[in-house]
Amino acid sequence: MLLLAIACAAFISTLAGGLLAFRLHDKLHLILGFSAGAVIGVAFFDLIPESLAFGAPGHGPAAITAWSALGFLTYLVLDRMLLFHGSAQAHSAVHAHDGERGALGAVILCVHSTLDGVAIGLAFQASHAVGVVVAIAVLSHDFSDGINTMNIVLRNRGERGRALRWLAADAAAPALGIASTFFYTLPAGLFGTVLALFGGFFLYIGASDLIPESYHAHPKFLTTAMTLAGAAVLYFAVTFAKGAMP
């Protein structure tokens, strides 16, 4: 029953963040700035530290950070492949290519949200107390996940209807992740490498996509402040959740 309530809370939190980004589309540069900080904050303050903790029994820090680098470089290659594909096409085709980039980013965010659900389910396998703390950490950034999903699709010329469909998929993803853990247990070392891989993905999305776009033709001070605010919110949310762990 508790896991069902957590899945519903994650769904609502993600939807709320995405709908806020949808409603404030004319202030998208500020939301993009916040999202950039939040995405980078998730990587630095949550995913990569957790990957080091989970990977410690079988992999050293160098191996785990190498997985993060692989994630960053893999996303870079995928992104550049789409850019090269669109560069030789007409302007209308470039718009279609932008939609592919938006879909790629949305898929990564949806898979990450599924992994959030997996983290909750596996944490409850360990103990009830650890499960509750991990759930708090996940819910603390699900709101930003919704903002990020909506922003990435809209940023890459996606239609609003398409962005809403991706938002619904991202909101449902944690529940799917939680449900999946009823059928298997994942070795801690493997879970660490997966978290590190997605940490690299998020670093690329934030640093190479969201930050440059948020600064483009907009006041630098406000967008910089929003980026710092996004990172700070994620830092304090994750720190609070970890501080509550027994």
Count structural domains, the chain: 1
Q: What 3-state DSSP class applies to 199?
A: helix
Question: Could you tell me which residue, 225 or 24, shows the higher pLDDT?
Answer: 225
| Residues 80-97: tens digit of each pLDDT | 775 544 444 434 444 444
Predicted confidence band of residue 69 (pLDDT cuts 50, 70, 90): very high
Range of the domain at 57: 2-243
Closest CA to 116 of 46, 17, 45: 46
| Residues 1-49: tens digit of each pLDDT | 788 899 999 999 888 888 887 777 667 677 778 878 888 988 898 888 8
- Helix locations, the chain, DSSP H: 2-23, 28-42, 48-55, 61-87, 91-126, 128-155, 160-180, 188-204, 211-215, 220-243
| Residues 153-193: tens digit of each pLDDT | 776 666 778 888 888 999 999 999 999 989 887 776 677 88
Torsion (CA) 29, 173, 64, 188 in degrees, nearest 10: 150
CA triple 194-195-197, angle to 5 deg: 65
| Residues 103-121: tens digit of each pLDDT | 777 888 888 788 888 888 8
Model-level pTM greater than 0.85? Answer: no
Rounded average pLDDT over 140-165? 75
Q: Are 151 and 100 in contact (CB under 8 A)?
A: no
